[in-house]
Amino acid sequence: DVGNQLADKQVHSVCPYCGVGCQLTYHVKDNSILFVEGRNGPANHNRLCVKGRYGFDYVTHRQRLTKPLIRRSDAPKHIEMDMDYNNPLRDFREASWEEALEFATKGLKKIHKKQGPNGLAGFGSAKGSNEEAYLFQKLIRTAFNTNNVDHCTRLCHASSVAALLQMIGSGAVSNPVADVADAEVIVLIGSNPTSNHPVAATFFKNAARDGKTLIVMDPRKTDIARYADHVLQFNPDTDVAMLNAIMHAIIQLDLVDHNFIEQRTEGYTTLKKHLQDYTPERMAPICGIPAETLYEVARIYASAKGSMIFWGMGVSQHIHGTDNARCLINLALITGQIGRPGCGLHPLRGQNNVQGASDVGLIPMVYPDYQRVDNAEIRKKFEALWQTTLDPNPGLTVVEIMHAIHDGNIQGMYIMGENPAMSDPNLNHARTALASLKHLVVQDIFMTETAHYADVILPASAFPEKTGTFTNTDRRVQMGRQAIDSPGEARQDLDILLAMAKGLGLQWNYTGPRDVFNEMRQVMPSIAGITWERLEAESAVTYPCSHEGDSGESVIFQEQFPRAGGKAALIPAAFSHADELPDDDYPYILITGRQLEHWHTGAMTRRASVLNSLEPEAVAMVHPDLLEQIGLHAGESIRIRSRRGEVVTGTRSDRGLNPGQIFLPFCYYEAAANMLTNDALDPDGKIPEFKFCAIKIEQA
Ligand code: SF4
């Protein structure tokens, strides 16, 4: 109440962090956010987690970039960075916007002329709005003339999307999180929602309280397991073995949905044959789950009136991530657990706009709405609309771009809001690549680890400083509204994109995000019916929404799947191990992930005072027996080495892990987990294996 009296205005927006997409209200006075409250949005029902509620004062942090910066000619790009955040001007000098934009575009044009279109690449961001992501991919495709454009979806659910597109023709979720109210059984696999999707976790917990059966499958026993009826703590990287065994049991017990298989799928005979060898008895020693538990879970999942599967990056971030997802899709299809309220498939999306950034084409192989760049008819359509000639070949993905830089094939990049110098696997390799670029343009709000390698830095806007649309994990397009102005000379990202486009020779006449959104509606059938005015009035509309007045479909695939013939494809997946297994030299397994209080590479949350006070230091989670084995007490420091790098970090005792595994959050620059991770890729999704590599440890 005191806050309400002090604030001069309330601005309704959405949370800038995770894909749950909680709606919130900024309470603002004198261009400053006083506090944040949850709103009664469809995904949050007034709730917010600690990040949404307290993680807002990063916007006024003293390290905000407020002027364009150009690298001093005598400042080398160090591969091992001195993270002197307080002195960004050591290697850079301040510049006017005019000079910085000219420098930025001139450098890119020079490489384009000398090296050709594929000498350039761009990383956009899932933290930006749909309009920013759409314009960014359009700029890369029409000004650079290449499809070398990607973003962090590659590091997140690219494998899930590959499997979903292949098997059911759509890369998004089939049902929203709130559908758990209509489910009987909820399966959570490879997901730690209490930390990563905290408000969604409250829906799961409430469902469990209301008598729904909650089944948790994860190599690490996290908080949500306390609410579960069944906890399957399976061995890391054995998802395919476990899930195939569950499907084998379902077939053996004749719990498949014969009608659904007959009418809605193809490939069952091949899948059934493939599953013959995956008996629960044979798979039990591999996955570490007793055969009787596999039979029991198979019976519960298949016999329920409605079973929903939610999965996170424990499924997707493997070299067999696409196969992991294929198994989950097969499971839902053979039991008919899809196409109705209270069942279905839901890959929990990570960033607040990773669904939207993917939808609008921030992906090297597809234009907006997943329309393939190598389909001549589709390409012609986009060429007519964008009035240019487009590259007919799919571009390179995130890690492939780093390899192409090492090979000298890519020499210039434009990176908007992404931080690959922290988020990419095998950081020594990624940082060496960034340091060797001839010209790197970075657009961001802080001197991120990636900005340290830039030739020019364009100071951008933080989330509450701009208006745009964001699409949450439920396929819900929501309006984020500007609450405050940017500091100093920092500009809105959309304005910077327009200025960059002009400097690169494009004739764009957008007057703001509404114009961009209207163009998106023309090329994206999924959102054709959503108007800007409706979003302003209602704040959220779910796609597919084909025509104005369409209420939008929250549950899809009710009649058919969006594939030729309308049927889903059952695709068998064979069990294989991780790329780098423990051995005598590196005997332990590293699992990386997030913490409740911090977000991804920590650029925002480590500068949010409450969040950083709660979790100020790098810490690895280690089983107490393993700590004892190496002569340490919890809290003392540990050195972790892999074949690619090493870090020193504090420790915390965690009985949720098996003694052979260590969990390390990836948000701490001083103990960057990705120094250790393996950049081996899933062949379909091109996602790296963040969830498994071999390490050794010692006292530090
Ligand atoms: Fe924000 Fe996600 Fe927390 Fe909701 S659950 S407040 S969207 S971080």
**Residue range 681-696, pLDDT digits in tens:** 999 999 999 999 999 9
Q: Whose CA is nearest to atom 1 of ligand 1?
A: 52
**Ligand 1 pocket residue status of 199, Cβ below 6 Å:** yes
CB contact at 8 A, 245 and 294:
yes
| pLDDT, position 84 | 60
Q: What is the three-class DSSP state of 686?
A: coil
| pLDDT, position 270 | 98
pLDDT tens string 212-264: 999 999 999 999 999 999 999 999 999 999 999 999 999 999 999 999 999 99
DSSP state string for 252-264: HTT-S-HHHHHHH
pLDDT tens string 453-474: 999 999 999 999 999 999 999 9
Q: What letter would DSSP give residue 277? A: T
| pLDDT, position 59 | 98
Using the predicted structure, report yes or no on whether residue 168 has a pLDDT greater than 60.
yes
- For residue 587, how many other CB atoms are within 10 A of its CB? 12
Task: Extract the tokens encoding 314.
Answer: 């424990």
Structural Rg of the chain based on CA atoms: 24
Using the predicted structure, report yes or no on whether residue 2 has a pLDDT greater than 90.
no
CB crowding 169-192: b at 16 or more within 10 Å, else e: bbbbbbbbbbbbebbbbbbbbbbb
The proportion of the chain whose per-residue pLDDT surpasses 90, expressed as a percent, equals 96
Residue type, 308: M
Average model confidence (pLDDT) across the chain: 96
pLDDT tens string 483-520: 999 999 999 999 999 999 999 999 999 999 999 999 99
**Ligand 1 pocket residue status of 51, Cβ below 6 Å:** yes
| pLDDT, position 332 | 98
| pLDDT, position 156 | 87
Q: Whose CA is nearest to atom 2 of ligand 1?
A: 18
Residue 672 CB-half CA count within 13 A: 24
pLDDT band at 82 (very low <50, low <70, confident <90, very high): low
**Ligand 1 pocket residue status of 15, Cβ below 6 Å:** yes
Q: Whose CA is nearest to atom 3 of ligand 1?
A: 49
| pLDDT, position 176 | 98
pLDDT tens string 316-347: 999 999 999 999 999 999 999 999 999 999 99
Using the predicted structure, report yes or no on whether residue 673 has a pLDDT greater than 70.
yes
| pLDDT, position 85 | 62
Average pLDDT of 640-654? 97
Give the residue among 341, 280, 342, 346 at the shortest CA–CA distance from 309: 346
Using the predicted structure, report yes or no on whether residue 88 has a pLDDT greater than 80.
no
**Ligand 1 pocket residue status of 20, Cβ below 6 Å:** yes
Using the predicted structure, report yes or no on whether residue 588 has a pLDDT greater than 60.
yes
pLDDT tens string 93-104: 999 999 999 999
| pLDDT, position 83 | 60
DSSP state string for 635-694: TS-EEEE-SS-EEEEEEEE-TTS-TTEEEEES--GGG-GGGT-EEEE-TTT--EETT-EE
Q: What letter would DSSP give residue 351? A: B
Q: What is the ipTM of this complex?
A: 1.00
Task: Extract the tokens encoding 34.
Answer: 């006083």
Using the predicted structure, report yes or no on whether residue 3 has a pLDDT greater than 70.
no
CB contact at 8 A, 369 and 362:
no
| pLDDT, position 79 | 66
Q: How far is the CA of 538 from the centre of ligand 1 (A)?
A: 20
Using the predicted structure, report yes or no on whether residue 412 has a pLDDT greater than 70.
yes
Q: What letter would DSSP give residue 593? A: E
Q: How far is the CA of 48 from the centre of ligand 1 (A)?
A: 6
Cα 315 to Cα 219: distance, rounded to the nearest angstrom: 11
Task: Extract the tokens encoding 476.
Answer: 């819900």
| pLDDT, position 194 | 97
Using the predicted structure, report yes or no on whether residue 305 has a pLDDT greater than 80.
yes
Q: How far is the CA of 272 from the centre of ligand 1 (A)?
A: 40
Average pLDDT of 124-143? 97
Cα 601 to Cα 61: distance, rounded to the nearest angstrom: 17
Q: How far is the CA of 200 from the centre of ligand 1 (A)?
A: 8
pLDDT band at 90 (very low <50, low <70, confident <90, very high): confident
Using the predicted structure, report yes or no on whether residue 367 has a pLDDT greater than 80.
yes
**Ligand 1 pocket residue status of 52, Cβ below 6 Å:** yes
CA dihedral 379, 385, 391, 394 (to 10 degrees): -60
| pLDDT, position 86 | 64
CB contact at 8 A, 398 and 169:
no
573 torsion bin: left (phi>0), alpha (psi -120 to 50), beta (else): beta
Average pLDDT of 654-669? 96
